[in-house]
Amino acid sequence: MKNNQQVSFPDELLILVDSKDSIIEYATKEHCHGGDGILHRAFSVFIFNSKNELLLQKRSAGKQLWPLYWSNSVCSHPRKGENYPKAVKRRLLDEVGLQLPVEFLFKFQYQVNYNQLGSENELCSVYIGKTDDPPMINDNEIAEWKYISLDKLQIDMNDRPEEYTPWFKMELKRIRQDFIDTVIAI
């Protein structure tokens, strides 16, 4: 199933933070991603099914940064006035139409530029969850999706690393190194 509701806006206010995740102020998403970016809160969700396959999404062609790249199940930003759990719940519904419990794994900071179009400069919290419910994909956010085993994913990422978002590669590496038992246990 699919939907096509617009859920991302360049003028939505994101939360600017320091490296310790203390709120500094707010700025539009467009402003946060311009140039080398401004450090702001973000999150990534990794959704697994009962076979421990990961739900991957290929970002829509309409994305300013990394369009048509494969990435984790859901990623976005808490907006002004939102905490992480509220934002994660909202975005799971917005992008993949799912409601499920998630577990926080880790937080990390990164900055990467995308061509001359802008960059990500984020303090990103990473969550995992498990469900066998079918996703209801939002066409405005996601061009394609699939479930894939971590072993097959690693082979594909080794063969075609340029097809995956930089944050996804960093997050998956850390999950495989430090949290694989958590993935299996959820």
Tens digit of pLDDT for each residue in 94-123? 999 999 999 999 999 999 999 988 999 999
Among 75, 95, 124, 141, the one annotated catalytic? 75
Q: pLDDT (tens digit, 9 = 90+) per residue, 158-184? A: 999 999 999 999 999 999 999 999 988
The encoded tokens of residue 89 equal 């719940």
Among 95, 122, 141, 171, the one annotated catalytic? 122
Q: Is 120 a catalytic residue?
A: no
Q: Is 122 a catalytic residue?
A: yes
Question: So what's the pLDDT on residue 11?
Answer: 76
The fourth-level CATH superfamily of domain 8-185 is Nucleoside Triphosphate Pyrophosphohydrolase (3.90.79.10)
The predicted model scores a pTM of 0.94
Q: pLDDT (tens digit, 9 = 90+) per residue, 23-46? A: 999 999 999 999 999 999 999 999
Question: So what's the pLDDT on residue 186?
Answer: 84
Q: Where are the domains of the chain?
A: 8-185
The encoded tokens of residue 33 equal 């991603």
- Per-position DSSP letters for 13-43, written without gaps between them: EEEEE-TT--EEEEEEHHHHTSTT---EEEE
